[in-house]
């Protein structure tokens, strides 16, 4: 064998080794690999792709790659490919994105797709690398469901803590209704003609008290109800005032004074109303509990526009303040200042606020006590508020 033939033999051997290595990588890759030509016809289909889609390689090789896609991508893919060949504009090649694929049985599932291009032997080929992310999406969905369950449990727990104050709050309008109606009965049966004219006035007062009781119940039902997360443009003053009033039920009987400093004319905030009201209730109840130990104190709830696109809510109390060690870990799970608390309320509150692209933190009140700060994004101008302060 001549030196030239020997050199050619070594080159061919090296090439065969590289091809064998490439085949081994493709065959054993945990991700699906599908190659197509410039007309969209499948040229190769590795074992991982076969497992992912439920097809054998021989069943799809020679078919249009659209068979692996759901509508409308299936119908549009050839047009995308033709546009790229015509313009050279890359919209996915070399970039990668999350798309949906279609299995043999018709089920649609999410994949991460990266596309590469190669020209070999005068032929243009496209290689699609697919990673099935179904398990990840299912885990994320389950985590979302678990968080929603935990949020709901916390709402029920908070309502349990407010039960005694709630009974007192509802007892007042119900007692007034009974008294007004008993007076109406007496006047209508044996009252003088002049006094009977007061019946209409007493009935109006009874109706007003019944509406007050009904409003309390409606707010409670809305707060406790489990529902899907839905953000809308809301007047933050109304949201804060409704929630704080629920949390302050029974506070005046403990010697606690509450003051509202709600800024006028604030733009609406883009929030899930019930979730943010839950945060406000939790923070206000914390202040109520802190002041209850002293038997007196003040809570101030205020709102202001903190930035062009953010609103800030503050809840200030004149309580004993936070222990330095607790303050550093205040929003971590299972950290609590309450003897019977389990320490998940503030952790969930921060999770809710951060999911709204806001911030939640605590600081010392210069006059003694604690200030909770909460920021939330304002709605874009295209989102009208659902109700008005």
3-state SS, one letter per residue, for the chain: CCHHHHHHHHHHHHHHHHHHHHHHHHHHCCCEEEEEECCCEEEEECHHHHHHHCCCHHHHCCCEHHHHCCCCHHHHHHHHHHHHHHHCCCCCECCCEEEEEECCCCCEEEEEEEEEEEEECCEEEEEEEEEECHHHHHHHHHHHHHHHHHHHHHHHHHHHHCHHHHHHHHHHHHHHHHHHHHHHHHHHHHCCHHHHCCHHHHHHHHHHHHHHHHHHHHHHHHHHCCCCCCCEEECHHHHHHHHHHHHCCCCHHHCEEEEEEECCCCCCEEECHHHHHHHHHHHHHHHHHHHHHHCCEEEEEEEEEEECCEEEEEEEECCCCCCHHHHHCCCCCCCCCCCCCCCCHHHHHHHHHHHCCCEEEEEECCCCCEEEEEEEEECCCCCCCCCCC
Cα separation, 249 vs 163, in Å, equals 9
Please check whether residues 191 and 213 belong to one and the same domain.
yes
Structure tokens, 253: 């009987």
State residue 269's pLDDT score: 94
Q: In which band, very low, low, confident or very high, does the pLDDT at 378 lie, cut at 50, 70 and 90?
A: very high
pLDDT digits (tens, 9 = 90+) for 108-160: 999 999 888 887 777 788 888 999 998 888 877 776 666 666 566 666 655 55
CB 45 within 8 A of CB 55: yes
Structure tokens, 71: 């509508």
Does residue 258 lie within any of the structural domains? yes
Contacts of residue 328, defined as CB under 8 A and 6 or more positions apart, other chains included, come to none
Report which of 83, 69, 76, 85 is spatially closest to residue 124, judged by C-alpha positions.
85
Cα separation, 101 vs 111, in Å, equals 7
Residue 11 reports pLDDT greater than 90: no
Does residue 36 lie within any of the structural domains? yes
Q: What is the CA radius of gyration of the chain?
A: 33
Report which of 290, 299, 313 is spatially closest to residue 240, judged by C-alpha positions.
313
State residue 88's pLDDT score: 75
Please check whether residues 239 and 324 belong to one and the same domain.
yes
pLDDT digits (tens, 9 = 90+) for 27-80: 778 889 999 998 899 988 999 999 999 999 999 999 999 999 998 888 888 888
CB 264 within 8 A of CB 311: no
Does residue 188 lie within any of the structural domains? yes
Does residue 140 lie within any of the structural domains? no
Tally of CA atoms within 13 A in the half-sphere of 312 that contains its CB: 15
Please check whether residues 238 and 370 belong to one and the same domain.
yes
Please check whether residues 222 and 283 belong to one and the same domain.
no
Does residue 19 lie within any of the structural domains? no
pLDDT digits (tens, 9 = 90+) for 179-218: 777 777 777 766 555 565 677 677 777 777 777 676 666 6
Please check whether residues 110 and 186 belong to one and the same domain.
no
Q: Domain boundary at 228, 244, 278, which?
A: 228
Please check whether residues 360 and 326 belong to one and the same domain.
yes
Cα separation, 370 vs 382, in Å, equals 37
CB 160 within 8 A of CB 220: no
Q: What is the CATH number of the domain that holds 335?
A: 3.30.565.10
Please check whether residues 291 and 380 belong to one and the same domain.
yes
Please check whether residues 37 and 81 belong to one and the same domain.
yes
Bridge partners (DSSP) listed for residue 233: 270
State residue 192's pLDDT score: 59
Our count of domains for the chain comes to 3
Q: What is the CATH number of the domain that holds 55?
A: 3.30.450.20
State residue 282's pLDDT score: 84
State residue 156's pLDDT score: 61
Q: What is the CATH number of the domain that holds 151?
A: 1.10.287
Q: Domain boundary at 228, 253, 270, which?
A: 228
- Order of strands, edge to edge, in the sheet holding 297-307? 256-262, 297-307, 310-317, 370-377, 359-364
State residue 219's pLDDT score: 59
Please check whether residues 245 and 364 belong to one and the same domain.
yes
Range of the domain at 35: 31-132
Does residue 138 lie within any of the structural domains? no
Contacts of residue 236, defined as CB under 8 A and 6 or more positions apart, other chains included, come to 266, 268, 269, 271, 303, 311, 313, 376
pLDDT digits (tens, 9 = 90+) for 266-312: 999 999 887 888 889 889 988 888 888 777 799 999 999 999 999 99
Please check whether residues 364 and 244 belong to one and the same domain.
yes
pLDDT digits (tens, 9 = 90+) for 214-243: 666 665 555 555 455 578 899 999 999 988
State residue 202's pLDDT score: 73
CB 177 within 8 A of CB 209: yes
Report which of 211, 206, 292 is spatially closest to residue 249, judged by C-alpha positions.
292
Please check whether residues 302 and 292 belong to one and the same domain.
yes
Mean pLDDT of 245-255: 80
Match 């496209």 to its residue by tokens: 126
Does residue 139 lie within any of the structural domains? no
Residue 389 reports pLDDT greater than 50: no
Does residue 166 lie within any of the structural domains? yes
Tally of CA atoms within 13 A in the half-sphere of 318 that contains its CB: 13
Please check whether residues 251 and 320 belong to one and the same domain.
yes
**Torsion from C-alpha of 235, 238, 241, 244, nearest 10 degrees:** -70
Q: Domain boundary at 82, 107, 132, which?
A: 132
CB 364 within 8 A of CB 295: no
pLDDT above 90 covers a percentage of the chain that reads 25
């Amino acid at each position: 064998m001549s030196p030239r033939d020997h050199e050619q033999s070594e080159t061919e051997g090296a090439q065969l080794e590289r091809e064998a290595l490439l085949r081994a990588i493709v065959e054993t890759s945990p991700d699906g690999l599908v190659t197509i030509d410039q007309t969209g016809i499948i040229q190769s289909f590795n074992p991982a792709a076969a497992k992912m889609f439920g097809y054998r390689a021989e069943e799809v090789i020679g078919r249009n790659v659209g068979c692996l896609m759901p509508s409308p991508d299936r119908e549009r893919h050839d047009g995308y490919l033709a546009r790229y060949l015509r313009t050279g504009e890359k919209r996915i090649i070399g970039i990668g994105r999350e798309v949906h694929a279609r299995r043999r049985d018709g089920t649609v599932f999410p994949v991460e797709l990266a596309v590469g291009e190669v020209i070999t032997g005068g032929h243009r080929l496209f290689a699609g690398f697919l990673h099935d992310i179904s398990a990840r999406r299912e885990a994320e969905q389950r985590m979302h469901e678990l968080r929603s369950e935990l949020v709901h449990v916390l709402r029920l727990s908070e309502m349990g803590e407010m039960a005694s104050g709630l009974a007192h709050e509802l007892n007042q309008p119900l007692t007034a209704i009974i008294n007004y109606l008993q007076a109406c009965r007496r006047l209508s049966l044996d009252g003088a003609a002049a006094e009977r004219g007061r019946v209409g006035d007493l009935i109006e007062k009874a109706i007003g008290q019944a509406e007050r009781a009904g409003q309390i119940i409606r707010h409670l039902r809305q707060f406790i109800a489990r529902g899907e997360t839905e953000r809308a443009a809301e007047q933050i003053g109304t949201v804060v005032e409704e929630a704080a009033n629920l949390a302050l039920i029974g506070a005046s009987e403990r010697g606690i004074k509450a003051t509202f400093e709600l800024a006028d004319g604030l733009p609406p905030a883009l929030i899930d109303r019930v979730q943010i009201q839950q945060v406000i209730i939790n923070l206000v109840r914390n202040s109520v509990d802190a002041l209850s130990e002293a038997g007196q104190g003040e809570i101030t709830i205020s709102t202001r526009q903190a930035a062009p696109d953010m609103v800030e809510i503050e809840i200030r109390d004149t309580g004993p303040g936070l222990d330095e060690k607790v303050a550093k870990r205040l929003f971590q799970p299972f950290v609590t200042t309450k003897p019977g608390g389990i320490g998940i309320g503030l952790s969930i509150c921060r999770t809710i606020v951060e999911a709204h692209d806001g911030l939640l933190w605590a600081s010392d009140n210069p006059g003694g006590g604690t200030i909770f700060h909460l920021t939330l994004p304002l709605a874009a101008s295209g989102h009208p508020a659902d109700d008005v302060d």
